[in-house]
């Protein structure tokens, strides 16, 4: 499986283009690290991939062994999990995405219970997300998306607010999700996190912005 960008261009209103005629194939068979200096467009690219932003021109396609398919279901974890929460109750928070999709209430209850148990949060289901520790909040933010079974998960510097034990727990959880078939794109500037990745894409500032890649992920 791959995400393919074809001649993608994007600029914020009144600004110079961040991407111009960008062509890139992103593998989704493992852990993909998206790195580069501050301000080169990492978060912008991630938001384009999940549909939070729309390209000015070009196309973003999801490809599988069966050919080109409609855009894959994708989740996006913000750097600060508090920016993602919309409810003051953990159980309702995790149910929110499924409720928005019109999922049957019985299916929602079963899915939410399973996800909260799997992430060690079931006993806190009646609490507010803001009662949780930093590591627990990141687990909740992850649960928000996993309950809807995405094909792709993009994490925007998710360890920025975590202590070391919480970071390593998140690394382990993400690797398990990848092993189960989830495609993961992890935005980071951390050298250690880059070594964890199966593929690395480095954004380099330029006019237009170009893609520099290491040997693991050839750009086009």
Could you write out the DSSP letters of every residue in 70-95?
SPPPEEEE-SSGGGT---SSHHHHHH
CA of residue 218 relative to chain centroid, distance: 21
> Which of the listed residues 149, 168, 198 is the one where a domain comes to its end?
149
Q: Which domain holds residue 170?
A: 1-73+154-220
Provide the token pair at 75.
């989740």
Please compute, for residue 141, the number of CA atoms within 13 A of its CA located in the half-sphere on the CB side: 27
Residue 25 forms part of a structural domain: yes
Query: Whose structure tokens read 């261009």?
Result: 9
| 66 and 3 both lie in a single domain | yes
> Which of the listed residues 149, 178, 194 is the one where a domain comes to its end?
149
| 134 and 189 both lie in a single domain | no
| 45 and 25 both lie in a single domain | yes
Residue 80 forms part of a structural domain: no
Nearest to 50 by CA among 23, 84, 18, 75: 75
| 167 and 190 both lie in a single domain | yes
| 140 and 186 both lie in a single domain | no
Handedness of CA 161, 135, 193, 39 (dihedral sign): negative
| 48 and 111 both lie in a single domain | no
**Predicted confidence band of residue 52 (pLDDT cuts 50, 70, 90):** confident
| 12 and 60 both lie in a single domain | yes
CA of residue 139 relative to chain centroid, distance: 14
| 1 and 67 both lie in a single domain | yes
Residue 81 forms part of a structural domain: no
pLDDT, tens digit, 9 for 90 and up, residues 118-144: 888 999 999 999 999 888 888 899 899
**Predicted confidence band of residue 70 (pLDDT cuts 50, 70, 90):** low
Mean pLDDT of all residues in 207-212: 41
| 203 and 107 both lie in a single domain | no
Higher pLDDT, 215 or 156: 156
Sheet with strand 57-64: strands edge to edge: 19-27, 2-10, 57-64, 67-69
| 36 and 98 both lie in a single domain | no
Residue 83 forms part of a structural domain: no
Residue 145 forms part of a structural domain: yes
| 128 and 179 both lie in a single domain | no
Q: In the predicted model, what is the mean pLDDT of the chain?
A: 84
> Which of the listed residues 123, 149, 175 is the one where a domain comes to its end?
149
Distance CA 96, CA 193 (A): 30
Is the CB of residue 145 less than 8 Å from the CB of residue 50? no
Residue 34 forms part of a structural domain: yes
Residue 178 forms part of a structural domain: yes
Residue 79 forms part of a structural domain: no
Number of domains in the chain: 2
| 132 and 103 both lie in a single domain | yes
- Residue 109's pLDDT is 93
User: What's the CATH code of the domain at 62?
Assistant: 3.40.50.300
**Predicted confidence band of residue 214 (pLDDT cuts 50, 70, 90):** very low
- Residue 94's pLDDT is 94
């Amino acid at each position: 499986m791959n995400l393919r960008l074809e001649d993608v261009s994007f600029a914020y209103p009144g600004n110079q283009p961040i991407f111009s005629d960008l062509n890139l194939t992103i593998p989704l068979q493992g852990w993909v690290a998206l790195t580069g200096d501050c301000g080169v467009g990492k978060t912008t690219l991630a938001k384009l991939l999940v549909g939070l932003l729309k390209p000015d021109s070009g196309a973003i396609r999801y490809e599988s062994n069966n050919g080109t398919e409609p855009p894959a279901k994708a989740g996006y974890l913000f750097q600060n999990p508090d920016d993602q929460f919309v409810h003051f109750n953990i159980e309702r928070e995790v149910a929110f995405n499924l409720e928005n999709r019109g999922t049957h209430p019985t299916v929602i209850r079963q899915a939410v219970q399973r996800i909260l148990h799997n992430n060690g949060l079931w006993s806190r289901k009646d609490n507010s997300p803001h009662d949780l520790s930093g590591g627990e909040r990141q687990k909740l933010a992850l649960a928000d998306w996993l309950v809807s079974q995405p094909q792709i998960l993009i994490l925007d510097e998710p360890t920025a607010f975590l202590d070391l034990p919480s970071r390593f727990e998140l690394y382990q959880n993400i690797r398990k999700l990848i092993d189960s078939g989830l495609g993961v794109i992890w935005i980071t500037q951390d050298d250690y996190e880059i070594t964890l990745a199966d593929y690395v894409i480095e954004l380099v500032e330029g006019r237009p912005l170009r893609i520099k890649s290491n040997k693991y992920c050839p750009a086009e």
